[in-house]
Amino acid sequence: MPKNQKNDSQIQGLIVFKGKLAQIKTREIIEEKKQQEVDQENKIKLLSELIPFGALYRYSILFVNESLAPITEIRARVKFPELLFLIRHYPLSIIFSTSKIGIDETQITFEIDSLDGNSKLQISLYFTLADINVKGEIMLSTSFINNKGFIRTLNVDPTILKLQPFRFEQKNIPSEEIGAFLRLEDMKKAVKSMGVGIKKKPNLDLFFNHATQLIKLHNFKLITKDEKNRIAWFFAHELESNEDILVISQIVSNKVEFLATSKDPSLLVSFLSNLSTDFKKSISSTGVVAIDQIFNLECKFCGNILPSFPKKGDSIECLKCNNEQVVW
């Protein structure tokens, strides 16, 4: 090909390429303009919900974008009382910043880059109860930038958490009827599992005796007890909720566990939190172990109970999500 024809071909190709770039740029401008014209008024929503979740409380935050255009730079702030202790959240990709507000409140803040049109995003916070004798509220506020570049804010009404005191009276249930009780409709179950981290060989009989005595102090009826395998079943009727409750105390795989079953999920959270707190205080009063040497054995990723209490520095794999973690 002659040199001048070759140059003409390159120039023509360049012109075509520039033409394509211009078309792409034009489409982008048109698309951006269309998104700016989308009406987002009353189409960005914020919802929250606090519910019992096993032995915890789960606070769910739901961002809903019902418009056709995305929102960006979403910032959220959650304030909660000292009676709640945040132990994990989901999705794990969300990064929190935590700070103290006064003497009895904690605040967490987090950011989300964007939320596409016609989409939702739920964030779940999991709390354990640090104190069942206090009431408080959870406050949520957010801000975001809409498709026109303006900052908008969304708030929800405070969520009030006021725990009912529990009062038990002994109630008998034959051992052969326990299985049928566990299979009743709407029955809820929850577990508190702890590991005692000391250098010496743990005195599992001591742990078991303290755990069973704590349940008896709440006026539960001892149904049956296996000293060799360190497991005991208790039963009672809770007067405030008017519901029966079965509680099991056991030592398994070097874990101290309380398992409870009832139709009232809030009762399970409150009572198991109370039992685990009292166990830590009771066993630490013996001088054998300090409270900060007692570790919760929920998976840090999914909340499932870990299969055993590992040695210090050893990792353990969760049987549900298969993530490995070091407990202590």
| Backbone angles phi and psi of 16, in degrees to 5 | -65, -45
Min mean pLDDT across 25-34, 70-79, 245-254, 286-295 is at 25-34
**Rounded distance between C-alpha atoms, residue 207 and residue 205, angstroms:** 5
Quick check: is 31 in a domain? no
* 17 or 235, greater pLDDT: 235
pLDDT tens digits along 173-228: 999 999 999 999 999 999 999 999 988 888 999 999 999 999 999 999 999 999 99
Q: Do residues 191 and 77 share a domain?
A: no
* Amino acid (one-letter) located at 205: D
Q: Do residues 129 and 173 share a domain?
A: no
Quick check: is 94 in a domain? yes
Q: Do residues 132 and 217 share a domain?
A: no
What is the domain extent for residue 130?
A: 44-161
The H helix count followed by the E strand count for the chain is 4, 19
**Nearest of 140, 146, 258, 147 to residue 192 by alpha carbon:** 258
Q: Do residues 184 and 285 share a domain?
A: yes
> What's the helix, strand, coil split of the chain in %, to 5?
25, 40, 35
| Backbone angles phi and psi of 271, in degrees to 5 | -70, -40
> Residue 305 in contact with residue 284, Cβ under 8 Å?
no
Q: Do residues 142 and 175 share a domain?
A: no
Min mean pLDDT across 32-41, 118-127, 215-224, 229-238 is at 32-41
**Rounded distance between C-alpha atoms, residue 77 and residue 89, angstroms:** 14
What is the number of domains present in the chain?
2
Q: Do residues 260 and 204 share a domain?
A: yes
pLDDT tens digits along 276-308: 999 999 999 999 999 999 999 999 999 999 999
Q: What is the CATH number of the domain that holds 48?
A: 2.60.40.1530
Percent of the chain at pLDDT above 90?
A: 80
* Residue 320: other Cβ atoms inside 10 A: 14
Q: Do residues 267 and 210 share a domain?
A: yes
Domain stop point among 114, 137, 161: 161
Q: Do residues 271 and 178 share a domain?
A: yes
Domain stop point among 111, 131, 161: 161
Give pTM, 2 decimals. Answer: 0.86
**Rounded distance between C-alpha atoms, residue 34 and residue 210, angstroms:** 68
| Two tokens, residue 115 | 């939320």
Quick check: is 8 in a domain? no
**Nearest of 278, 270, 256, 262 to residue 192 by alpha carbon:** 256
Torsion of CA 282, 283, 284, 289, to 10 degrees: -170
Q: What is the CATH number of the domain that holds 230?
A: 3.30.310.10
Domain stop point among 103, 127, 161: 161
| Backbone angles phi and psi of 184, in degrees to 5 | -60, 150
| Backbone angles phi and psi of 104, in degrees to 5 | -135, 20
Q: Which residues contact 77 (CB under 8 A, 6 or more apart)?
A: 107, 108, 109, 140, 141, 142
